[in-house]
Structure 1
Amino acid sequence: MATVSADKPRYVTLKILMPNHKSSETEILIHKHLSENASEDPRSRHVTALLDEFQHEGPNGKHRCLAFEPMGATATSLVDYLTGNNPNIELLDKNNPPEEEYSDENDSEEEYFDQDNPQIIYSAVRYPKWIAQKILGHALRGLAFLHRNGIVHGDLHPGNILFSIDNIHTMGENELLQDEASTKIVVRRVGEERGRSTPMTLFLAQYLHKHIKLDSRLVIKLSDLGASFWVDSPPKQTETPIALRSPEEIFGQNIGTGIDIWVFGCLMFEFLTGNKLFSVIKWGPDPEAQESADDGHIMQLNEIISPLPDAMMELWPRSSECYGPNSEALNPFGDEDAYVCDSIEKKFHNEKLPEIDDEEEAILMSIMQQILVYDPKMRPSAEELLKHPWFADQEVDGPQQAMD
């Protein structure tokens, strides 16, 4: 984070792009296009705004530098500091959100899902329902703004969903200084001399979570449009995290705004349970590893969501290795028994947040079932989803509107 000297000095977050990176120009053009249309749509406040951009020449070449509004923490990181995940933080009341800021004096003692060892699943780390609902509602508003302007986010995941900081520009620099002692890493090159472009020191990210106020003024925004693209000019390959890929991405079909909507459906399950909907891991960069990950993902789609249509099964060259002649699941990975996943209905019922009663469970399950369909043309748009009472009743969009 940096400060900008001007008539009204302010803090900004700098994103320094790789030199001569092809997507850099697209990202800047997209941000400029959004800036031109932001004033017409109050949902624009749910996408981080580009404030300025400039060029910096370094040892690796010329870098485009983008200046954004500062944000507090990601939806991935902040959850570690909530009650139940950190016993030293006061309980969050869904009906009376607290005004105080949150501290990180002690690390969470909760255990997590180990992505490197998928057999080990620990107790869930999750948000209270009122925060989960705001995350989803605000993310959906951000998607609606992007899609209305012909833009696909392309890399939606909890790490690109950010919490805002209230009144950051009134804080002194000492309040925001990074704790170098706990985040500094000295770089040592093994076996080779240090190159002129090799950094001597690295600093771990230090989120500003303690400056976030989880109250009625909370605003959540989508960030990082580095993988975004125009609807009419999709890339050959997307940056979607492997377990959040839509069926059309897995099968190499045409893509559009539907890939964002699919991810949103997966994130609904994740934020309302604390667990990922799909467990997909790629064990290496080679084609065989990709095929193995795809097979596991497709089998989970078939078991968790619904049986794949025949036309989609025909696009899957290894389907006969995964399913027998009577559609029985086989195990392509060599173990004796095939692992059969529970359906999304059963998973959600067993893993949902305790605040969700049976009536609300049915409502949420209906929304996810509408979203998580294999044909992207049949998925509801972000605009249509916002009309649903579960999202529409949260708030009326507008810069002066307080959130309940």
Structure 2
Amino acid sequence: MASSVNWMLQPQVDGDSGDAGITHGDLQCGNILLCAKSLDSVPAHELAQDMKEGIGISEPIKRLDRREDRWAPRYLAMAQPLAKYGEFGPSLIAKISDFGASFMSLDQVEEPVTPVALRAPELVLGLAFDQSIDIWSFGYLPSELVTGTMVFEVDSCGEKTPENDAQTNGVHIMEFTDRLGAPLEYLLQKWPRRERYYGKDGTQTRWSVEPGEDLAEKHPVCLLEDFILKERFPDIS
């Protein structure tokens, strides 16, 4: 299915958005919709939300200060996927959704809303970027689809401050190195903290940005191909 989704989305990434001069900026699995079969013949009760607490709805919502909130909903409805009604054969149709954070490529934004782990190198390094950030995210998606896990285990390091952002970027570059091999020298030259991790000859000297860890202890590397073979779902050959 991953290859089918990849093939179906490619015209949208390479064609429709690109021809229109639009950068999506938030291309991720959560923004890809797979079309379902016609539901006209499905009884309404099968599509109705399960109203059992803890299964279809949350526990009653309460304010932390226990005051009454007349405007809050009584509960939250939990996601109930329609996967069993999906068309996963040759007629599979996948569509990109949620263009709320998209922008015209000529109208450069300061920082797109791309999920941290899906950021292209130019975003991590604070360089100028264009529609190619969507291509990077698009190239990342098949790996996540066949493994069900994040390829780059990166999350924001605390509140958004310059120091925390720099630490997050350091973690991301270390993840690039573990999965894709040593970064290209011209990219490393753009990294303000390069000298903390690499010697003058380009040799990596530090493998962690976490305080308290043995910074000189080399971490095991699992390149992308090996990672996919190890983590893929059992039914994917």
Is 1:299 equivalent to 2:174 in the alignment? yes
Residue 203 of structure 1: aligned partner: 77
From 167, 171, 175, give the equivalent of 2:42: 171
**Equivalent residues in 2 for 1:371-382 (5 A)?**
none
The change in CA–CA distance for 1:268 and 1:242 in structure 2 (over 3 A counts) is: same
Q: State the 1:286 CA deviation.
A: 3.6
- Give the aligned residue type for 1:221: K
Rounded Cα–Cα distance in structure 2 between residues aligned with 1:352 and 1:192? 45
What is the root-mean-square deviation in Å for CA atoms of aligned residues? 2.5
Task: Give the paired residue count.
Answer: 226
In the aligned structure 2, how far is the partner of 1:195 from the partner of 1:275?
38
Match of 2:57 in 1: 184
CA contact (8 A) 2:35 2:86 kept: yes
- For residues 77 and 150 of structure 2, the distance between their equivalents in structure 1, rounded to whole angstroms, comes to 29
- Give the deviation of 1:273 after TM superposition: 4.3
> Partner residue of 2:6?
136
**Paired residues of 1:269 and 1:348 also in contact (CA < 8 A):** yes
User: % of aligned pairs identical?
Assistant: 28
Which residue number in structure 1 is paired with residue 213 of structure 2? 335
Match of 1:266 among 116, 135, 140: 140
**d(CA) in 2 for partners of 1:165, 1:195:** 38
Q: Residue type of the partner of 2:177?
A: N
CA offsets per residue over residues 250-289 of structure 1, 9 Å max, x none? 1222222101110111123333444432111223224233
**Residues 90-101 of structure 1: matches in 2 within 5 Å?**
none
Rate the CA distance shift 1:257–1:169 in 2: closer, same or farther, 3 A: farther
Q: Which runs of 5+ in 1 are unaligned?
A: 1-130, 357-404
Counterpart check, 1:225 vs 2:102: no
1:156 is matched with: 27
Say if 2:23 and 2:134, in contact at 8 Å, map to a contact too.
yes
Q: Is the 8 A contact 1:321 1:332 kept in 2?
A: no
- Between 240-249 and 218-227, report the one with greater CA deviation: 218-227
Q: Distance in 2 between matches of 1:203 and 1:248?
A: 38
Shift of residue 349, structure 1, vs aligned partner = 5.4
**Residue 352 of structure 1: how far off its partner (Å):** 5.8
Q: Is the 8 A contact 1:187 1:201 kept in 2?
A: yes
Q: TM-score, normalised by structure 1?
A: 0.51
Instruction: Check conservation: 1:300, 1:341, Cα contact below 8 A.
Output: no
| Aligned residues of 1:183 and 1:203 also touching (Cα < 8 A) | yes
- Alpha-carbon offset, residue 225 of structure 1: 1.2
Q: TM-score, normalised by structure 2?
A: 0.83
Contact 1:154 1:260 in 2 (8 A): yes
CA offsets 1:205-244 (integer angstroms, 9 cap, x no match): 2222222243333212211111111111132111111111
Distance 1:301 1:194, change over 3 A: same
